[in-house]
Structure 1
Amino acid sequence: MHHRAIIVFLLLLLSMGLVWFGYSPGLHGGFLFDDFANLPTLGTLGPVDNWPAFWRYITSGTADPTGRPLTLLTFLLDAHDWPADPYPFKRTNLILHLLNGALLYALLARLGHLLGYDNRQGQTAALLGTALWLLHPLLASTTLYIVQREAMLPATCTLAGLLLWLHGRQLLAKSKTAAGLAWSMLGLGGFTVLGVLSKANGAMLPMLAVLIEAIVLTRQQPLRQADAQWAHRLTLFIFSIVPSVAILGYVFWTGLQGVLAGGPVGIRPWSVGQRLLTEPRVLLDYLQLLWLPRPFSSGLFNDQYVASTSWLQPVTTLSAMLAVFGLIGLAWWQRRRYPAPALAILFYFAGQLLESTSIPLELYFEHRNYLPALLMFWPLGLWLADMRSLRTFKYALMLALPLGMVWMTHTRAELWGNVHSQALLWARINPDSARAQTNAAQIEMQAGQPQAAIRRLNKLLVNQPSQVQLAFNLIGARCMTGGIAATDLDAAQLAMRGTPNTGTLFANWFERTLPVAMSGGCPGLTTQGIQKLIDTGLENPKLSAAGPQQDLIYLRGKIALAQGQPDMALADFTRALDLQVRPGMALEAAATLGRAGYPSHGLRLLDHYETVSEKVMKPSFGMPWLHAWVLERQHYWPYELNHLRNQLTLDAKASSVNTSSHSLHPGVPH
């Protein structure tokens, strides 16, 4: 027994060594896509180097009602300010992936024991199931994508929570009621909370526990003592069944409301009903990638994925729906005869419940498979570990499968370590993805190949004229080749007229482009042309909400400021502030006026803010409310606003003195 345990431990270490080898080329890659939308919060309100800054940062999350603070907390292991080096973030992700592998091995070994497999077969199957999951190339797009630590941490919490719950249930079976109840509550209750604080799908832990209870434990580990039965049923009801029913009810209610409402959801081009028709096709695509792995896939950019508009459009919609429900039904029907495959299948679809049903998230992301696929390869491991037949063939597969996975993961990691090659390959795999083509064009421009970027962007812009990311980057590429034509501005105006949302894209492009237009660095690009783009956006009914309107009006004010028209800039800044009264907006606008040499205008803006401060936007429920409470307790905004007011007052006095001095001595050069 001791000898076998040592061998298993060494093999597990060998598997982890192979994982590190497979992933190592990708550790030297850069930040990507949503990394830039999430990680800069490390420096938004200053370096996180003291306790007040820590509490401001940890409550600054906006994703999910919780803000995912546990994920934000782990980013502090890698950096305390922004910009930062991507290597520590990726290294921590890989370490977390290995930790999840160790926890997964413990869970699979425990489940194998509960199902009655002998130690040799159970441990071998657990080792193989863990190794194939750890080494699977599809998971590289989670592990090497820094921001998707938020998809990895719920898996950590789920694995730890299930292990603690199983330990508690074992104690209950031994009539150790108090200890068993405590461990069960910690596992199901405590780690569900931690999982949710990482990402919302951490809430799936209770439902996964219900599946394990129904398929594995009810028959394999019955509880004999009445008090143990009572404690277990109470714990399971409160911490598993009630949360599971609540999640199912939420998903059903969201879907029903979406179907009854009809039409596109927010910025999405599809309705909730169309999403529900589409996701079975997506899930089958995921399963194909899991069971027929390959070195390369579509990667991060899947905005081109075609939504189903009816049961037969595309034609695979109905068959995919039948296949998914058929797999679920078959697994439940055969759960007694084949508990391990049934559990793996039901675990997978339950793990996808929040992100692949009615909640209007984007249609397709590979990282959504990280947690659901935890048990995916365990039944294969059990079959391979059964040496009653095909022994030579199974030994060969035990060697070939992990080695094949290592090769594919290493190949994929090499791509993740080379931003240029990665962008070009993803653009080739996703020819209709505006994100993929824009990303590739930006890489080509950085490499001094603007003509290639122009060809790429023009080709897709013909079929997707409302894609502002294509039109704006085309202007950037044209500027690198000598200037833009009227048709380029026309294309950008057309995009602004039809785009459903610009997010931070337009603001970021504006900040880069306005100085170029002011300096005449791009022939054909003028402040008047940029002004027309803003005015077109203001007329776009899809951008009529207060947020987009505020952003555009504020940018129009910055143009007026750059043209030396402070009164017009102040008017625009004031109008923008009135749309959504926020202290941060007032601070930024007043500071912008001050930096431009108009401190008195900045003071007037702060005065206006004081008159409308009672209309400050109320934070939404959850972490935004807590963040606002933290800032209020720290008197953050009053301090920052008073500090800025004092500085602007000093600057205004100095400006007044200089003006008086020049009027007394007109011969003194300015």
Structure 2
Amino acid sequence: MSFFRPLSRLSLALNYYYGGEEVFGYHVVNLFIHILASWFLYLFIFNTLNLPHFKNEYGSHSFVIALLSTLFWAIHPIQIQAVTYIVQRMTSMAGLFYIMAMYFFVRSRTVSGRPARIILLSLCATCGLLSLGSKENAILLPVGLFLFHHLAVEEPGPSAWKRNLKLFSLLYLLPLIAGLAYLQIADNAIGRVFDIYESRTFTLAERLLTEPRVVLLYITLLFYPMPHRLSFDHDLIISSSLFSPKSTAFAILLISIMIVAACLQARKRPLLSFSVLFFFLNHALESTILPMEVVFEHRNYIPSMFFFFPLVLGIIKGTSTFPKGSFIRAFTTLSIVLVLVAFANSTYIRNSVWQDERSLWEDVLAKYPDSFRAHINLGRHFALHSQDERATHEFLRALASRHTHRRSEESVALYNLGYLAHRKGDRQAAFDLYSKALEIDPCCPRANNNLAVLLLETGSAKHSEALRLLNKALECNNGEEIENALGNRRDLLLEIGEAD
């Protein structure tokens, strides 16, 4: 799936313009975005606790609650993938502008004077658009604001619910439905998205059955984020039915209970309800029907923003009834410090895994020995460093594992084996492997390009077949291979006298 993310792509382009492929500059910008997002998360929570509905109860503790809630989120090792993984700037930038929009919204509820409110709401809308320009997750921002407004700003009740729902439908749901209908009628956009399932090894139904287990995994990782549990690639078994594996039905039941309980507690514990519903809401786009990869830790960046908020709220509120200097207060303070230190240590250890490609994929294989993606990428690493025997071993392990969620990935393994054979001079083996790769995925650009080169090298004078393969490589429009295919096509046309 390809996405239009102009703002985040522009920031990466600017990084490249000023620093080329030197990764330090990219990491500095990513870290700055995360720090800024943390600052606005703190401001949002602080201002929320000082809203009229909550000020008497939480106002005196708002600084500590906001600070701790933010720290638990900011230093949590699950955020590493959104911050250290350079391309996931798309996620962190979307998160930054998302929480900025929420901050300007809550400030608009507390300021006096129409001009100030209009300015703040305009800033909220602007940040919403910037978030959407960073990543599509921001399409859920209006729903998040609706939840917050209904649960935290207004007193929850039937009349307020009806009024807010009408306004929400008019300003968000109707335009969204109209926009989706237009895209479908004009370009069959929705149909083309679901056509991607044909290239997957799982169906829509299987993905919907699997994702509750994935979300439950995310929750356990947030509570218990030890390095041995975190991975770039979680090679989960796909659920084929409610009881295969048995944890599928349990995950669906448990998540349903949490959502229903949050709704039932809306009037009594609005901040708890908001935090729980916000988490599940912001997983709704990437953890339901879209034919994407099944699990990625960076998908928790926005959903987990308020994950620790109700926990900290309850702890601080509960311990405040005990006198200063009491054992309970001292024990609670020590426990919080130890948890924060444990999170920071886990983040430090986990970050070291990202020091290079080899350490990253070897870490995945230590946890998921049959990970197709890890074997393929580790094999590529060895191939780039001229360790052909080790590379071949990894590619063969990938083919043997068959733990892949893309049908085309098997062709990638075959292509890489063909490339190694080609480099070694075994042209017949290379020809067979390239051909097998193209049988599985006729649109594998590198296999098309390299098979064309191989045909020309053998002197078999199959110019028309080579030209067809190069045209196919260009048709597939893979950015990594298009330059090579164009160059080879030009040389071939010059050789046969058909160049312009």
1:336 correspondence with 2:336: no
Paired position in structure 1 for 2:433: 533
Instruction: State the alpha-carbon separation in 1 of the partners of residues 107 and 434 from structure 2.
Output: 61
Please state if 1:143 is matched with 2:39: no
Match of 2:253 among 312, 322, 341: 322
Q: Which residue number corresponds to residue 191 of structure 1?
A: 127
2:207 matched residue in structure 1 = 275
Report the equivalent of 1:573.
Answer: 467
Q: How far does residue 383 in structure 1 lie from its aligned partner after superposition?
A: 2.4
Q: 2:223 aligns with which of 275, 283, 291?
A: 291
Consecutive unaligned residues of structure 1, counting only runs of 5 or more, are 1-61, 225-229, 251-256, 469-497, 607-670
Give the whole-Å Cα distance in 1 for the aligned partners of 2:19 and 2:412: 18
Deviations 1:195-216 (A, max 9, x none): 1211111111111101101110
Runs of 4+ in 1 over 4 A off after TM superposition: 232-250, 441-461, 501-513, 550-554, 578-590, 593-596
Code of the aligned partner of 1:213: H
In the alignment, what sits opposite 1:59? none
Q: Could you tell me which residue of structure 2 aligns to residue 180 of structure 1? A: 117
Residue 155 of structure 1 deviates from its aligned partner by 0.6
Contact 1:94 1:143 in 2 (8 A): yes
Question: Which residue does 1:79 correspond to in 2?
Answer: 16
Q: 1:463 to 1:152 in 2, by over 3 A?
A: closer
**Which residue does 1:393 correspond to in 2?**
331
Matches within 5 A, 1:86-165: 86-114=23-51, 115-116=54-55, 117-165=57-105
Q: CA deviation at 1:422?
A: 3.3
**RMSD between superposed Cα atoms in Å:** 3.8
Q: Which residue of structure 2 aligns with residue 207 of structure 1? A: 143
- Contact 1:122/1:382 (8 A) holds in 2: no
Q: Which residue of 2 aligns with 1:218?
A: 154
Contact 1:169/1:184 (<8 A) preserved? no
User: What displacement does 1:344 show?
Assistant: 1.0
- Cα deviation digits, residues 283-337 of structure 1 (max 9, x gap): 00000000112123342223x3111111111111111101111101100110111
Q: 1:354 aligns with which of 285, 305, 321?
A: 285
Unaligned runs of 5+ in 2: 183-189, 323-327
CA deviation digits over 1:317-360, x for unaligned, max 9?
11110111110110011011112221111000001010000111
* C-alpha displacement of 1:534: 3.0
**In the aligned structure 2, how far is the partner of 1:243 from the partner of 1:394?**
48
Q: Which residue of 2 aligns with 1:19?
A: none
CA distance in 2, matches of 1:394, 1:575: 67
Alpha carbons 2:78, 2:225 under 8 Å: kept: yes
CA distance in 2: counterparts of 1:582 and 1:358, whole angstroms: 26
Classify 1:280/1:589 alpha carbon distance in 2 versus 1 (closer, same or farther; 3 Å).
closer
Report the Cα offset of residue 74 of structure 1.
1.1
Q: Does 1:404 align with 2:342?
A: yes
Residue 488 of structure 2 aligns to which amino acid in structure 1?
Answer: T
State the alpha-carbon separation in 2 of the partners of residues 416 and 554 from structure 1.
32
Contact 1:586 1:605 in 2 (8 A): no
Deviation track 1:148-193 (CA, whole Å, cap 9, x = no partner) reads 111111111111111122223334xx3x335424432441x32222
Contact 2:446 2:473 survives alignment (8 Å): no
Once the two structures are TM-superposed, the CA of residue 240 in structure 1 deviates from its matched residue by: 4.6
State the identity %: 23
**Residue equivalent to 1:414:** 352
State the Cα distance separating 1:563 from its structure 2 match: 2.7
Q: Are 1:206 and 1:243, in contact at CA under 8 Å, matched by a contact in 2?
A: no
**Residue 432 of structure 1 aligns with which residue?**
370
* Count of aligned pairs: 475
Instruction: Say if 1:240 and 1:334 are closer, same or farther in 2 by CA, change over 3 A.
Output: same
- CA offsets per residue over residues 631-659 of structure 1, 9 Å max, x none? xxxxxxxxxxxxxxxxxxxxxxxxxxxxx
Deviation track 1:534-588 (CA, whole Å, cap 9, x = no partner) reads 33344x3x535xx34x7654443222222345x5235431465379769999986
Paired residue type of 1:111: T
CA distance, structure 2, for counterparts of residue 202 and residue 166 of structure 1: 17
Distance 1:580 1:416 in 2: 33
- Say whether the 8 Å CA contact 2:451–2:469 is kept in structure 1: no
Matched, 1:371 2:305: no
Q: Distance in 2 between matches of 1:403 and 1:270?
A: 40
Matched residues in 2 for 1:248 and 1:456: separation?
43
Q: Is the 8 A contact 1:264 1:271 kept in 2?
A: no
Q: Does 1:300 align with 2:195?
A: no
Whole-angstrom distance in 1 between the partners of 2:485 and 2:225: 51
Scaled by the length of structure 2, the TM-score of the pair is 0.83
Q: Give SS of 1:604's match.
A: coil
Looking at structure 2, the residues matched to 508 and 93 of structure 1 have their Cα atoms a distance apart, in angstroms, of 32
State how far apart, in whole Å, the 2-side matches of 1:467 and 1:436 are.
10
1:563 has 2:471 as partner: no
CA distance in 2 between counterparts of 1:157 and 1:244 reads 20
Cα distance in structure 2, aligned partners of 1:379 and 1:270: 36
C-alpha spacing 1:143/1:246, structure 2 compared with 1 (3 Å): farther
**Distance verdict in 2 for CA 1:242–1:417, change over 3 Å:** same
Aligned partners of 1:574 and 1:605 also within 8 Å? no
Structure 2 CA distance for partners of 1:511 and 1:458, relative to 1, 3 Å: closer
CA contact (8 A) 1:210 1:241 kept: no
SS in 2 for 1:266: helix
Given residue 89 of structure 1, which amino acid in structure 2 is its aligned partner? Y
- Aligned-partner residue type, residue 309 of structure 1: S
Give the whole-Å Cα distance in 2 for the aligned partners of 1:586 and 1:406: 43
Q: Partner letter of residue 372 of structure 2?
A: A
**Paired residue for 2:325?**
none
Q: Which amino acid aligns with 2:81?
A: S
Question: Contact 2:376 / 2:413 at 8 angstroms: preserved in 1?
Answer: no
CA distance in 2, matches of 1:99, 1:586: 38
- Which position in structure 1 is the counterpart of 2:361? 423
Structure 1 residues 359-396: Cα deviation after superposition (integer angstroms, max 9, x where no partner): 11111111100110000111122123221133222222
Q: Structure 1 counterpart of 2:35, which letter?
A: L
Distance 1:459 1:383, change over 3 A: same
Q: Which amino acid aligns with 2:352?
A: E
Alignment partner, residue 166 of structure 1: 106
Change in 2 beyond 3 A, CA 1:503/1:196: farther
- Of stretches 442-451 and 331-340 in structure 1, the one that deviates more from structure 2 is 442-451
Q: Which moved more, 1:176-185 or 1:97-106?
A: 176-185
Take 2:292 and 2:381, find their aligned partners in 1: how far apart are those partners?
Answer: 27
Q: Is the 8 A contact 1:148 1:367 kept in 2?
A: yes
**After superposition, what is the alpha-carbon deviation per residue over 1:448-496, rounded to whole angstroms, capped at 9, x for unaligned?**
87666666665564443x979xxxxxxxxxxxxxxxxxxxxxxxxxxxx
TM-score by length of 1: 0.63
Which amino acid in the other structure matches residue 340 of structure 2? P
Shift of 1:505: 6.7
* Partner residue, 2:186: none
The worse-fitting range, judged by mean Cα deviation, of 121-130 and 415-424 is 415-424
Letter in 2 for 1:88: G
Distance of 1:457 and 1:397 partners within structure 2: 47
Offset at residue 512 of structure 1 (A): 6.7
Amino acid at match of 2:93: L
